[in-house]
Structure 1
């Protein structure tokens, strides 16, 4: 009995500590305790049927499994600010490629999760010393076992019921997985996730009902009919080359900011003065991270709710930016000096319409920083290649040097005086971004020297957030914010979006709320391409009256409000004052509808069908 109590308490303590580390709140304790006891009764239902020694072996096995789940999810949360789902496990092969990142995610205090293993040997010895415990009549043991199982299911179900009552859509959309764990615990979360995964796999080949397809088509029909006939900036970049640079972990808060009287991003600051700068460009990526950012920008579709499109749906038909430009006679290139199979790019890029994928096998690795070829060398070799290619071209470049954990600072050491932040996580990040800015400065200068800048539409944007939520206090201190609550945290999940047009046309700051979803429709307008027959979820930012960014967890931001859906609260985006969330119910429903439409399009490979439908509408 002592062994059962020790192991059970250890498991409960670890799960509660995990919840605390991922931001669990006191307000969710009741549901959590109910659900946790339910889960433990289910896990313990076999113990009355086992002999004493086998009970301990069984509970140690369960303890090891739970510890593995906790540590896996904790490391994943520190990197992605999210919880693992079964589809993400298909991406586990990439862990070795970011090995140094994983090591940097481990904290010394994590040893607490394996400290109970010290009791395993004493527990076994104790069994041999104790007299054999008689469990009683066999049918009583069976009765206890069945009682544990039924009571466990009822408690777990009640905890899930309470959560569903509080957040009706959360268990069907999984839009905020950490919130689910806060309320029903990690074990119940993974049980629901497994159920959802099996259900989705079984139903994957089922076709949508005809009325659902009609609703999706009607949404795009209304979008097409509401588009302006004479949009501003239409064709200002027609026939020009397009270079789009996705910069690793570039956040907006570094733009125009100084530290110790030094600009963090002097080259981007200079470019912004001559470009269209979207300062309210929010992170819309999901568990696919960098690959989601690529997908958003090149297809104007949302990421899927679990896993990554690049891993789950690489064989779909996508009416992508590269395909549209190829129809206009463009050569199309994806350029990223890393492993071709990472994020399944070698399979996905042909589906996105790229003629060639220049990966690490195409570059001379003459300067290594961090995970691979330095950004400066990458840009130099990429421009050398583009000079020899047929024009016009679309080159999609993905940088690498400023990748987490930002700890390889020697190559650009002391280029930026970060003062007291030297050697800290945030200080390393600022140094990494300062280097990335230098590399971008090289790219811009090289384009000017080669006479290419005025013949190119240049797009630069950040892919996703850089500072994880568990370091929000460091960020708040740097930004001079007293309390970085959820409102402030989400508000700062912005990246820069810069579009430079030939002759510096349209230079200025745009305040419209937007995300990666809006890049493709905005670019098509600039390139003089009518995109009304292309199924795009995003907006042309230069011709939209109202902006909106929808995050994969259901949060949305427009020009006036920031809505934290799962928290049940909304804020005035300018003042930070709370706003009645019920007044935004239509907008909330619309945000969820957009996510649902995009999900169904991807799951059912509907792009071609919708595009053909739109062509027939006047």
Structure 2
């Protein structure tokens, strides 16, 4: 290879290295709203290592093409990482590739989260292509880059390559080692850099033995029981009959999981129009839990289904339906089937979405009803509206009632799915001018329709003689509004209520309407989606301990204090108790706490150290437990 050609290839090495590094700095800015310069070398190190290895192993004639191909591939991955962060609020790992097929199912929702700045990751590639085409058109041939660069020596290029490999490798190894002890994934990713963070994800997956545990599940259950006994959930003496135990024994159960439904619209009005009149009435007649928080992981809606039916924490790395759809999952459907119930689930999308065709048998449902069972009224990208969901569900459940078979049914709504744009014919409220063509306005309109549709379900249940013999449970699966789309100030101005970008966003409603209640009750206890199963089981007279059932949530009607963990949308180690939301830094002492009552920072959160230590142990035991469950 002549000297000029070596110079040209070497120049591409430097240019591509700098361009990729700049893109990683842009990603830092998008992820963390800042560039912590003390950690930016951790971004450059793996880039130099990769390019150095390619320079060493790839034939000279292919080097330039390979360098730019790597730039293109990483540009695509960084673009996807930014979009993923916009949508989920978490830094993706390579395990997110397992869920890539789900993106096309929610294409409309994902596309709406793409920001113009995301396209900057491709700007250099476009510029090079335009320049190359222009020069080819201008002179008839592409102009080699060597015209604009000073010649270098061949030996110097090899020194650069070796320094890149050795220096980049050592610095990457140091960054990975330094970040391994950080539990907060966001801080860990910022410290290590995105590419090194992926290495950490591989190491963690290997240490966790993937998705299959080792050991005796009975020993894990014993450790769970011992840990639970150490936490003061209740001061009631052991053996005391829980309040409301068995008050709904033998009743049918319908669980409605409401898409993207936050708690703040309840009991609110917009220009005199009640936003959720049906849910408001149900809350006044039954048990209303205003302080419930989402706990989902990477599986979003499907994780909410998993948790409400199992009371097991989702793992942090991937959707539970993807990772554990091949297991025999202890669940409420299985418990009730042992008592003579039949269990069914209804969802207007295809069951293959989020691997539900595997999740539902794993949960022990008799069967499921998916897209083909509902009249497609072309409500949104999923097809059928909530009204059609309920029409089919009532028809199938009424048939069971006629046979004298008690049932457990889960109905998963989709009409309030992001980006919350519903057909004009289905809109039930009129937005004020300042909310027209805004995401907040669209969201409130969709939530109002979801509420209306629940009313049609109730009417259907009454007409078919099901209402007075059915416990109705309603909860939100996860938040709907992202702060970058709808600032808290906009919600506060529209409804005149305080709104926090995390506490209010993660706060979902939980309502349990039980036949025969003389008066409704507001239960102020803080809770999460893991607490749904134990609470419903208590009402149905199912003693979980006697049934040999391990639940990681708690009966909200019979505890005096609660703490629940959250990870994925908040970093590992985050928790809610009856007083605060806590989010760790590198650990507990450099974390932050916010009051659930005032939504203001809490300066001294040291009294809650034990909650932090406890919840980390509990979530680790949950992971250990679910990985030991038998395969189907």
TM over 0.5: yes
Q: Secondary structure of the residue that 1:332 maps to in structure 2?
A: strand
Distance change (3 Å), C-alpha of 1:487 and 1:399? closer
1:108 is matched with which residue?
A: 116
The answer on whether the counterparts of 2:440 and 2:486 sit within 8 Å (CA) in structure 1 is no
- Summarize deviations over 1:511-559 as a string: whole Å, max 9, x none: 1110110001101110011111311111000000112221023211111
1:490 is matched with which residue?
A: 503
Q: Distance in 1 between matches of 2:199 and 2:551?
A: 35
2:154 is matched with which residue?
A: 136
Are 1:39 and 2:50 matched, yes or no? no
Q: Distance in 2 between matches of 1:205 and 1:530?
A: 27
1:520 is matched with which residue?
A: 533
Q: Secondary structure of the residue that 2:255 maps to in structure 1?
A: strand
- Summarize deviations over 1:137-196 as a string: whole Å, max 9, x none: 4xx6555433222222333344445545xxx342xxxxx433333333222222222333
Indicate which of 90, 93, 100 corresponds to 2:101: 93
Distance change (3 Å), C-alpha of 1:212 and 1:276? closer
Q: Secondary structure of the residue that 1:502 maps to in structure 2?
A: coil
Distance change (3 Å), C-alpha of 1:228 and 1:471? farther
The answer on whether the counterparts of 1:418 and 1:431 sit within 8 Å (CA) in structure 2 is no
Are 1:150 and 2:161 matched, yes or no? no
Indicate which of 613, 617, 623 corresponds to 1:589: 613
Are 1:599 and 2:615 matched, yes or no? no
- Unpaired runs of at least 5, structure 1: 171-175, 609-618
Q: Secondary structure of the residue that 1:578 maps to in structure 2?
A: coil
CA drift at 1:37? 2.7
Distance change (3 Å), C-alpha of 1:288 and 1:47? closer
The answer on whether the counterparts of 1:374 and 1:400 sit within 8 Å (CA) in structure 2 is yes
Q: Secondary structure of the residue that 2:581 maps to in structure 1?
A: strand
The answer on whether the counterparts of 1:370 and 1:406 sit within 8 Å (CA) in structure 2 is no
Distance change (3 Å), C-alpha of 1:486 and 1:425? closer
Q: Distance in 2 between matches of 1:481 and 1:3?
A: 53
Q: Secondary structure of the residue that 1:187 maps to in structure 2?
A: helix
Indicate which of 592, 611, 623 corresponds to 1:569: 592
The answer on whether the counterparts of 2:217 and 2:628 sit within 8 Å (CA) in structure 1 is no
TM score, norm. by length of structure 1 = 0.88
Q: Distance in 1 between matches of 2:464 and 2:211?
A: 54
**TM-align CA RMSD:** 3.1
Q: What are the equivalent positions in structure 2 for 1:78-477 lying under 5 Å apart?
A: 78-121=86-129, 122=131, 125-127=143-145, 129=147, 133=151, 135-137=153-155, 142-164=158-180, 168-170=181-183, 176-200=184-208, 204=212, 206-207=214-215, 214-216=222-224, 218-219=226-227, 228-366=239-377, 368-389=379-400, 390=403, 391-413=405-427, 415-473=429-487, 475-477=488-490
Are 1:539 and 2:554 matched, yes or no? yes
Q: Secondary structure of the residue that 2:52 maps to in structure 1?
A: coil
The answer on whether the counterparts of 1:472 and 1:489 sit within 8 Å (CA) in structure 2 is no
Q: Distance in 2 between matches of 1:607 and 1:257?
A: 46
- Unpaired runs of at least 5, structure 2: 1-9, 133-141
2:515 is matched with which residue?
A: 502
Q: Distance in 1 between matches of 2:52 and 2:286?
A: 65
Q: Secondary structure of the residue that 2:144 maps to in structure 1?
A: helix
- Summarize deviations over 1:392-431 as a string: whole Å, max 9, x none: 1111110111111112443324633243121112211111
The answer on whether the counterparts of 1:561 and 1:570 sit within 8 Å (CA) in structure 2 is yes
Q: Secondary structure of the residue that 1:385 maps to in structure 2?
A: helix
Distance change (3 Å), C-alpha of 1:59 and 1:524? same
Q: Secondary structure of the residue that 1:249 maps to in structure 2?
A: coil
Q: Distance in 2 between matches of 1:592 and 1:351?
A: 26
CA drift at 1:593? 0.8
CA drift at 1:94? 1.8
Q: Secondary structure of the residue that 2:264 maps to in structure 1?
A: helix
The answer on whether the counterparts of 2:428 and 2:449 sit within 8 Å (CA) in structure 1 is no
Q: Distance in 2 between matches of 1:47 and 1:86?
A: 21
Distance change (3 Å), C-alpha of 1:417 and 1:387? same
The answer on whether the counterparts of 2:373 and 2:392 sit within 8 Å (CA) in structure 1 is no
1:613 is matched with which residue?
A: none
1:614 is matched with which residue?
A: none
- Summarize deviations over 1:48-69 as a string: whole Å, max 9, x none: 6478764432321221122111
- Summarize deviations over 1:112-156 as a string: whole Å, max 9, x none: 22110134344763336579955434xx65554332222223333
Q: Secondary structure of the residue that 2:484 maps to in structure 1?
A: helix
Distance change (3 Å), C-alpha of 1:131 and 1:252? closer
Are 1:16 and 2:25 matched, yes or no? yes
Are 1:559 and 2:578 matched, yes or no? yes
The answer on whether the counterparts of 1:521 and 1:540 sit within 8 Å (CA) in structure 2 is yes
Are 1:66 and 2:74 matched, yes or no? yes
The answer on whether the counterparts of 1:276 and 1:506 sit within 8 Å (CA) in structure 2 is no
- Summarize deviations over 1:70-113 as a string: whole Å, max 9, x none: 11112222222222223331222222211222222223333222
The answer on whether the counterparts of 2:312 and 2:551 sit within 8 Å (CA) in structure 1 is yes
Distance change (3 Å), C-alpha of 1:144 and 1:418? same
When structure 1 is superposed on structure 2, of 557-566 and 11-20 the one drifting more is: 11-20
